[in-house]
Amino acid sequence: MTIQFHDPRGATRVPAEPYACRHALDEGAVVGLLANGFPDSIAFLDAVEEALGAALPGVRFVRYAKPGASAPANDALVARIAAECDALVTAYGH
């Protein structure tokens, strides 16, 4: 039996541009993990923390959560994250 996978993405008229943002995370750096309130976003961030923790020994992780999936992060939360973290990973889930 042969299994074939279908890529459901359609053709695009705009070429993809690589994302070039990068931040060196040395020992002692703090990475924020922001759950957006969708189901499984916290479980996804658990896996992200495990993978990044193995790849970046000495980095500390701090968890944050938006008040709900449809609510934006308020100014106070954004300011807290910016003050406490060197980098941030945001997550979604469904």
- 20-58 per-position pLDDT tens digit: 777 788 899 999 999 988 888 889 999 999 999 999 999
65: how many CB neighbours lie within 10 A of its CB?
A: 16
How many residues are given for the chain? 94
Cα 38 to Cα 4, 11, 61, 74, 85: the distances in Å are 31, 29, 20, 17, 23
Cα distance between residue 70 and residue 93, in whole Å: 13
Tens-place pLDDT, residues 7-19: 787 888 888 888 7
